A and B are shown apart, each in its own frame.
Chain A
């Protein structure tokens, strides 16, 4: 009986090994998932293979968004809006490398594709700051209409497109002159924004239930894609066809075909679903579920969440290194 038990345990161990090896194909050794808990100012570090939280540490006050540092594959930048600083992390392990202080109220952040500019958006104080790279040298502080939220760039890096939540508008800022170029109404409380390779902007209309597709060259709306209440963020899947939309109020993620401008079936994830990270093979999506203090792991083949991992209060930005391409 003991031998039988031993064999069963051995078989289970081998099976587990096989499963973890197969899922490890798209994972770098030692890869961590980095989650910003905006409500408590901490980072949760999750082992991507075992899906266990392996570390949690303070990073600053109100960290909301993070992204890879331009041309530095091994570094992430975290925006601490209430600490007025940026913190740079090791992108594989989540360890703190350095801190850059005196960056005023950074909420959302982005590097222009040509690497020339770093744009920091102050949601609370109605302002956009433009820094010249590589030294984060402040070039302009631009007062905007109400509640600037998320940012995207034109392919030639000449324009930053920013959603204005409480003005219900999209604003185009000319990065060279550092002046407002134009503005247009796009829907109630616009939030997340993504520029497709076709040059169309996809904007989550959080106060309503759709993604507004905008042609910035013509300064006109193209189509409304109804995805769910509280349409918030738009993340490409990296396959050149699909993007995912998180719908915060419905608690769903809806795939869209950004070429055909069609909408897929929503996946129920959890209330307050927000930022997402897509695996390089597109099979797995990790998403923060803000009001439930969890991260959801979604199997895109079965189109359902397969695991929820408790993290800190109001988790917002999320990242892992072997992610899908973000430009298509």
Chain B
């Protein structure tokens, strides 16, 4: 484990000092050195994550597929989404937008004497147990993710954007990153607000963070796998496929079921769980009536804005 972490640090350091550091120096952006170093780790980590997730999920999707892929071009679009999200411009854009929107607000708060609380303030011993602390943060952020996800479905205007994620009828592990940029921004803003309220999680355990992100990708995988008894703890590919199912996931009871991101017990707790053991077809119901959500990357983004505009015009 230590060897893996050291190899990762060497790789990040090598990329940063060879490519990024001289570039930001020549651009006069040395003040951003620390953030740029973190961003390098994020992108290198993202690339490694894509490789590792693909290495694990691709064979599983071949061995036990939940559905037959109707058109490989649909999957290729999601591959593009994945690279845009994990190693591309999406996070940079989200970071820049958050910086512009959030920093003046946080600076103002601090000037008024408001210092945000963190979990470690409530339970000081956590500061000395970063593993446990990170676990708490993961659980709370996952709870925040659950309610965010419910809002994406139950607020009609937000659904116009989030529908893009659900309009994939050939769902694979690549679909995890198939999102509208405005949906991503709203989600990032929400999670930043939560982080401001509870503090930021410790960063000592990149492999644990990697594992949670891997779980999110795995939940979308085209695999017949329900995790057995673990399905009551973790979101399995089968459980999440029900969330994506036509006329069940969004259009069914509660305006959707199985909203959880990593831990499935949130759905049980808030009475939105559907533990049926089936692998229904995925998509949005109006696709059956001919609604088009776009094929290529840019078309899907454009049509998201069109749907949003139509929604507000119709009100």
Contact = CB atoms under 8 A, between A and B. Distances in A.
A166 B203 contact: no
A212 interface: no
A39 B203 contact: yes
Interface string A118-159: 000010111100000000000001010001000000000000
A141 B113 contact: yes
A84 B121 CA distance: 9
A254 interface: no
B7 to A, nearest CB: 11
A256 to B, nearest CB: 20
Contacts, number: 117
B202 A229 contact: no
A143 B6 contact: no
Given A58-B128, A249-B21, A122 B110 contact: yes
B17 A310 contact: no
A284 interface: no
A310 B113 CA distance: 39
A42 B204 contact: yes
B227 interface: no
Contacts of B103: 124-125
B115 A314 contact: no
B203 A61 contact: yes
Interface residues of B, number: 38
Nearest to B124: A99
A189 B30 contact: yes
Contacts of A192: none
Given A141-B111, A271-B21, A293-B13, A165 B31 contact: yes
Interface in A229-252: 229-230, 248-249, 251
A83 B25 contact: no
A57 B13 CA distance: 22
Interface stretch (B33-41, B246-254, B263-271, B296-304): B33-41
Interface string A179-211: 000000000110000000000000000110000
Interface in A36-50: 38-42
Contacts of B59: none
A248 B25 CA distance: 10
A291 to B, nearest CB: 5
Given A61-B202, A83-B127, A147 B111 contact: no
A239 to B, nearest CB: 30
Contacts of A206: 30-31, 33
A291 B16 contact: yes
Given A61-B203, A127-B110, A272 B25 contact: no
A127 B104 CA distance: 12
Contacts of B110: 104-105, 122, 125, 127, 141
A102 B199 CA distance: 12
Contacts of B118: 83-84
B13 A271 contact: yes
A125 B106 contact: yes
A146 B110 CA distance: 15
Contacts of A60: 120, 127
A300 interface: no
A103 B116 CA distance: 10
A84 B116 contact: yes
Interface residues of A, number: 49
A229 B25 contact: yes
Nearest to A101: B121
Contacts of B200: 61, 82
Interface in B132-188: none
B30 A41 contact: no
Contacts of B28: 188-189, 207
Contacts of B278: none
A188 B29 CA distance: 9
Contacts of A102: 115, 121
A104 B37 CA distance: 24
B25 to A, nearest CB: 5
B130 A41 contact: yes
A271 B17 contact: yes
B283 to A, nearest CB: 42
Interface string A283-294: 000000011110
B202 to A, nearest CB: 5
A62 B233 CA distance: 32
A102 B31 CA distance: 26
Contacts of A292: 13, 17
24 contacts: A41-B202, A41-B203, A57-B128, A58-B204, A61-B202, A83-B118, A83-B199, A85-B120, A99-B124, A101-B121, A102-B121, A125-B103, A127-B110, A165-B31, A189-B28, A189-B30, A206-B30, A207-B30, A230-B21, A249-B25, A272-B17, A291-B21, A292-B17, A314-B37
Interface of A: 38-42, 57-61, 82-85, 96, 99, 101-105, 122, 124-127, 141, 143, 147, 165-166, 188-189, 206-207, 229-230, 248-249, 251, 271-272, 290-293, 310, 313-314
Given A39-B38, A104-B110, A141-B111, 5 more contacts: A41-B130, A41-B204, A84-B116, A104-B115, A271-B17
Pairs of residues from A and B, 5 with the lowest C-beta to C-beta distance, nearest first: A271-B17, A58-B130, A165-B31, A104-B115, A125-B107
